[in-house]
Amino acid sequence: MLLGKKWERSKSEKQKPKDKQNKEIMLVTYGFVVLFLAMLGHFIYFAAANKEEMLNNSYNGRQALLAAQNTRGTIYSRDKEVLAETITTEDGTELRQYPYGNLFSHAVGYSTKGKTGIESLANYYLIQCNLPFVDKVKYETSGSKNPGDSVITTLDTQIQQVIDREMGIYKGAAIVMKPDTGEILAIVSKPDYNPNEIVTIWEDLLANEDSSVLLNRATQGLYPPGSTFKIISALEYMRENPETYHNFQFQCKGSYTMEDNTIRCYHGTNHGSVDFTKAFAKSCNASFANIGMQLDREKFADTLDTLLFNKELPVNLNYKQSSLLMSDEISNEDMIQSSIGQGKTQMTPIHLCMITSAIANDGILMKPYIIDRVETDKNVIVKQFQPETYGTFMSVEEASALKMLMQEVVESGTATKLSGQGYTAAGKTGSAEYNQNADSHAWFTGFAPADNPQVAVTIIIEGAGSGGDYAVPIARRIFDAYFEQAPF
Amino acid sequence: MQHYVLEISKYIITLFMALYTYECFAVFRFDNEERRRGIYIRQNIFMFCFHFMCYLDICIKTNKIEYLFFFAFQQIALFATITLYSMIYPRSNKLIVNNMCMLLSVGFVILTRLSFEKSVKQFLIVVLSIVIAMIIPQIIRKLMILKQITWIYAGIGIVTLGIVLVMGAVTNGSKLSFSLWGVTFQPSEFIKIVYVFFVAGILKEAEDFKTIVVSAIAAGIHVIILVLSRDLGSALIFFVTYVMMLYIATKKPVYLLVAAGCAAIASVVAYHMFSHIQVRVQAWKDPWSVIDDAGYQIAQSLFAISSGGMFGLGIYGGTPRDIPYVETDFVFSAIAEELGLLFCICLIMLYISCFIMFMNIAMRVKDKFYQMVAFGLGVTYGFQIFLTVGGGTKFIPLTGVTLPLISYGGSSVMATLIMFAVIEGIYCIRQVGGKSVVRKKMGTQQERKTETQR
């Protein structure tokens, strides 16, 4: 513009020869200015968009700078119970304390030997202090550090305690979330540890590789999904046969043989003549092996893609990707194994819980989140996190058909231990075999109330036996605890 | 009390910088220096206030009164520069002088914060350079021989760069500097100017293809020596300057295409030939995967940039010293951290305004040789800023060049001051030259117009 004006003037001022000379210089000038502005745009965007990620990088010395100015903030549960806080002793040393001991070890994590869980996720907020300047000056003149901002999580101490008590000495994991918002209410992984003693037990934890105490099984544990995977096989069968899936009929003789491979029903049970609903409710392996053989493997691979198998999950805790083989090339054996959730298929509990939540929420997945808001020491909100939609996993019709199937599991199938409550639950059990001796992990994934789901639960108990016997009762306690606090 | 002063000064510093930068562009509203006088005086006031606030912060933070004396010396030097320029060269362009002083004061502030010792050293070199630079416009005006010694420029350039290549001291794998009588120089900074004179001299009447080929070969030798010395940044600046000047001289866009093609081929060849270039590109594409090694510098620079926020952490509030070579190659990141994003935006705008002024001067010079010199120096200056700021912000791969007038480095700051003086000299020629009659007429017309508007 500025140049433009001058250029016009000089054009009128003098005639031809000079004009041509100026045009090239002007083009170069404009070119450079555009280049500069692009660089400026990049610079501003980078500085603004990556603030959190940059500060969290362990190579960034500014974390230490902030730690010298502010005391690490407090982590609260949704009911404002302290989950982690920093105590400054008289001689000025700071201690990070976890009043609940082992209970939140995997959810909240630790912050001294590296950082995990919420301690890592919320680190950016915990080390900052957004108090008004006047308050900061008061702290500084009195010679003490500023109190860091605190983080209020979505975690519910009641539910967390119920799960912890019910799981007892078993290894395993449980995750509870709200399907309509994505709030994570509880996240338990066993075995656990006492984060208050992390410094002293650290060497032992590292030395003992088999126990994998530090692994958060709820997000990082990869397990065969077993029969819970039939939810997905059923979805695909309905997708491929929208008009005719009701007419499915199968004569179960306790096993299904394909070429040299035989699939047996759990404990060899003979289910007799079953339709689609009953095959699902009774978790009939033979029927689902048969269904698997009828599925189009290419299309199934597409469905699994949408459900985020072999893909990144919209989760900001440390997690592992679920893995599965599905394509035109896989053998019939792999196909029938996959359709009942055995073989090479591996899933994390959080992934299964997300699929379950999507079914409960009319096919739409809400992004799971665990930090509700950030507040200053004076309870002024610094940042409020909002529920976010991730995307559509399935149509409303498909979700409601799956709901019906899962409700029947509770009414007349493998999860009858959940029936007859004040609420109607829906779900699917699984007994996933993990070795040659047919030992199995007990699974349950489901939600309640079936007609207006408020809470979704996924549980795995390692090596316990059948899902119906070991996982379902825990789910019942969780639902009980939830509806006791929040009657529907 | 101190806390409040420090906190409020953050905003005041940004405000003065913003006001100064605004005036940089306000200048372009008027066509003659007379009418711009008010703007220039305001700029000087803003500059003084900015400079004073920064040193007030520094004194409060360090509790050392000697910094105040250092500030006083700087103020005297800058004030003397501004007054002497307008006394010796009444027709000089004051925007260039003002911007030069503003950039120098930003440089003094950030260098004092980073290293007092280096800052003092830099200050002494700046004073010496300004004295030298004072006589340059006069030389440009009087020495007509400058137009005729084309091949002497090329000879000086190639021989000097050659000596550095053969005998230069190695710093970080590059041969950049060499010592003479106990003083260490980085000759490529000075050769930049000589080189622009050479290219301007040979291309000023470049009508035949043969001259162009000869000029390309001579320029190519410069670039190749620099590539072999591993001075990648300078090599790029020399290359781009030549190409742009060739385009201006011939007015044929086809040369830009040819050059782009050559550059593409050369970069592919260089990428496969030199491992240090591969390392640089790798560190640019994904510094996080090589953060222990080649990516460390750029990662620290990015940390600094992202931690400052709008108004910065305040002088001494951050940890810019975590960045290796912060005073030379990453001074922009240090400024972003402690003086803030808004300040940096203003700083880049200030550089842009200075660049536009250079180009404006180039456009209006009648003499082809001086036009090409002004243009060439402007491109050198602009492209250098692009390389250093772009490199530090991961916009382009890192090349390790200095930020003109701010970065630490005696050769760099002296060469840049000489460059500014040369352009100032060319501006004076324009003012004195035959055009002045026409300009006067235009000026009065312009005045009449603005008056009737009012």
- Judgement on whether residues B169 and B195 belong to the same structural domain of the protein: yes
Residue B295 lies in a domain: no
Residue B77 lies in a domain: yes
pLDDT score of A58: 83
Tell me whether residue B363 is in a domain. yes
Q: Is B297 within a domain?
A: no
pLDDT digits (tens, 9 = 90+) for B53-79: 999 999 999 988 889 899 999 999 999
Mean pLDDT of A360-388: 95
Mean pLDDT of chain B: 89
Contact predicate B161/B187, CB 8 Å: yes
How many angstroms separate the CA atoms of B62 and B70, rounded?
A: 14
Residue B442 has pLDDT above 60, yes or no: no
When pLDDT is averaged across residues A145-169 and rounded to a whole number, the result is 94
The answer, yes or no, to whether residue B159 has pLDDT greater than 70, is yes
For residues B231 and B307, membership in a common domain is answered with no
Torsional class of A315: left (φ above 0), alpha (ψ -120 to 50), beta (otherwise): beta
Work out how many domains chain B is built from and give that number.
2
Q: Which domain holds residue B353?
A: 2-142+302-373+387-453
**For testing contact with chain B, the best of A16, A29, A33, A45 (most B CBs within 10 A):** A29
**Dihedrals φ, ψ of B157, to 5°?**
-60, -55
* pLDDT at B374 (0 to 100): 95
Tell whether B367 is within 8 A of chain A (Cβ). no
Instruction: Map residue A346 onto helix, strand or coil.
Output: strand
Per residue in B274-307, is it b (16+ CB within 10 Å) or e — as a string? eeebebbebbbeebeebbeebbbbbbbbbbbbbb
The H or E element containing residue B320 is none
Q: What is the pLDDT of residues B277-312, one digit of tens each?
A: 898 899 999 999 888 888 999 999 999 999 888 999
Residue listed under structure tokens 């054009």: A11
Residue tagged 């907020």 (tokens): A125
Q: Which residue of A has its CA nearest to B438?
A: A13
Q: A46 contacts in B (CB within 8 Å)?
A: 302, 305-306, 393-394
Residues B125 and B215 in one domain: no
Average model confidence (pLDDT) across chain A: 89
pLDDT at A285 over 70: yes
Torsion, CA B117, CA B122, CA B125, CA B131, rounded to 10 = -130
Per-residue pLDDT for B443 more than 60?
A: no
**Are residues A39 and B296, on separate chains, in Cβ contact within 8 Å?**
no
With CB atoms and an 8 Å threshold, state whether A28 touches B291. no
Q: Do A25 and B7 touch (CB under 8 A)?
A: no
Residues B369 and B438 in one domain: yes
pLDDT at position A17 is: 45
Verify that B14 and B25 share a domain, yes or no: yes
- Minimum distance, in Å, between the CA of residue A15 and any CA atom of chain B: 13
How does residue B452 score in pLDDT terms, banded at 50, 70 and 90?
Answer: very low
Least confident among A258-272, A390-404, B173-187: B173-187
Q: Does A485 touch chain B (CB under 8 A)?
A: no
Contact A46/B300, CB-based, under 8 Å? no
d(C-alpha B120, C-alpha B127), whole Å? 11
- At A263 the pLDDT is 85
- A26 to chain B: which residues are within 8 Å by CB? 359, 363
d(CA A228, CA A237): 15
| Tokens linked to A214 | 């530090």
* A282 C-beta neighbours (distance < 10 Å), count: 22
Q: Is B6 on the interface with A (CB under 8 A)?
A: no
Q: Hey, how many other C-beta atoms are within 10 angstroms of the C-beta on B209? A: 9
Interface of A with B in 132-161 (CB under 8 A): 133, 136-137, 140-141
Q: Which residues of A touch B288 (CB under 8 A)?
A: 57
pLDDT band at B222 (very low <50, low <70, confident <90, very high): very high
Residue A258's pLDDT is 79
Q: Encoding tokens for residue B82?
A: 């501004």
Q: What is the pLDDT of residues B96-136, one digit of tens each?
A: 999 999 999 999 999 999 999 999 999 999 999 999 999 99
Q: B385: distance to nearest CA of chain A, Å?
A: 9
Q: Which residues of A touch B326 (CB under 8 A)?
A: none
- Beta-carbon separation of B352 and A36 below 8 A: yes
A286 closest CA partner among A296, A272, A300: A272
Would you state the pLDDT for residue B419? 96
B103, amino acid identity: L
Give the max Cα distance, chain A. Answer: 101
Cis amide leading into A449 (omega within 30) = yes
DSSP for A423-466, written as a single string: S--EEEEEEEE-STT--EEEEEEEEESSSS--EEEEEEETT---
A137 to chain B: which residues are within 8 Å by CB?
A: 3-4
| Residues on chain A touching B375 (C-beta within 8 angstroms) | 25, 28
Looking at the structure, tell me whether residues B177 and B261 fall in a common domain. Answer: yes
Taking contacts as CB-CB distances below 8 angstroms, the residues of chain B near A25 are 248, 359, 362-363, 375
Same domain for B11 and B129, yes or no, is yes
pLDDT digits (tens, 9 = 90+) for B352-408: 999 999 999 999 888 889 999 999 999 999 999 999 999 999 999 988 899 999 999
Residue in A10, A28, A39 closest to B389 by CB: A39
Chain B residue with minimum CA distance to A42: B395
Tokens for A419, please give them.
């029936």
Hey, is the C-beta of A50 within 8 angstroms of any chain B C-beta?
yes
Predicted confidence (pLDDT) at residue A456 exceeds the cutoff of 90 = yes
Task: Note the helical H segments in B168-231.
Answer: 187-203, 209-228
Residue B286 domain-assigned?
no
Q: What is the pLDDT of residues B331-346, one digit of tens each?
A: 999 999 999 999 999 9
B245: confidence class by pLDDT, cuts 50, 70, 90: very high
CA distance B295 to B301: 10
Query: Residue A373 — very low, low, confident or very high, per pLDDT cuts 50/70/90?
Result: very high
Instruction: Name the domain boundary from B273, B291, B315.
Output: B273
Residues B28 and B134 in one domain: yes
By CB atoms closer than 10 A (0-12, 13-18, 19+), residue B433 is middle
B281: left (phi over 0), alpha (psi -120 to 50) or beta: alpha
What is the mean pLDDT of the segment spanning B14-40?
90
Task: Return the percentage of chain A with pLDDT > 70, whole number.
Answer: 95
Question: How far from the centroid of its chain's Cα atoms is residue B196's Cα?
Answer: 15
Q: Tell me which H or E stretch contains A158.
A: helix A157-167
Contact map slice: B 422-451 vs A, CB within 8 A: 438, 442
A200-238 residue pLDDT tens: 888 888 887 776 888 999 999 999 999 999 999 999 999
Q: CB B345 to CB A44 under 8 A?
A: yes
- Which chain A residues contact residue B25 at CB under 8 A? 2
Chain B residues 223-262 with CB within 8 Å of chain A:
244, 247-248, 251
Is the pTM higher than 0.90? The answer reads: no
C-beta separation of A426 from A410 below 8 A: yes
**B307 and B421 in one domain?**
yes
Mutate to test the interface with A, among B242, B359, B398, B436 (most CBs of A within 10 A): B359
**Chain A residues close to B27, C-beta within 8 Å:** none
Q: Which two tokens stand for residue B203?
A: 């291309």
Which residue, chain included where needed, has tokens 């060899």?
A: A268
Q: Are B319 and A65 within 8 A, CB to CB?
A: yes
Q: Residues B35, B164: one domain?
A: no
Output the DSSP codes for B15-52: HHHHHHHHHHHHGGG-SSGGGGHHHHHHHHHHHHHHHH
Burial level of B59, CB count in 10 A (0-12/13-18/19+)? middle
- Please give the backbone phi and psi of residue A252, each rounded to the nearest 5 degrees, phi first: -85, 125
Chain A, window 51-80: residues with a beta carbon less than 8 angstroms from a chain B beta carbon: 51, 54-55, 57, 59-62, 65
Same domain, B438 and B318: yes
CB contacts under 8 A, A 7-46 vs B, are: 7, 9-10, 13-14, 18, 20-26, 28-29, 32-33, 35-36, 38-40, 42-44, 46
The CATH superfamily assigned to A220-370+386-485 is: DD-peptidase/beta-lactamase superfamily (3.40.710.10)
The order of strands in the sheet holding B169-171 is B169-171, B174-180, B183-185
**Would you tell me how many other CB atoms lie within 10 Å of the CB of residue A216?**
26
Contact A84, A170 (CB under 8 A): no
For residue B352, list chain A residues with Cβ-Cβ distance below 8 A: 33, 36
Domain termination site, one of B219, B254, B273: B273
Q: What is the pLDDT of residue A405?
A: 95
Report the alpha-carbon distance of residue B164 to residue B69 in Å, rounded: 38
A237-254 pLDDT, tens digit per residue, is 999 999 899 899 999 888
pLDDT for B1:
76
How many angstroms separate the CA of residue A349 from the nearest CA in chain B?
30
Domain boundary (B252, B273, B294) is at B273
Q: Which chain A residues contact residue B296 at CB under 8 A?
A: 59
Task: Verify that B253 and B181 share a domain, yes or no.
Answer: yes
Q: What is the mean pLDDT of residues B187-215?
A: 90
| pLDDT reading at A488 higher than 90 | no
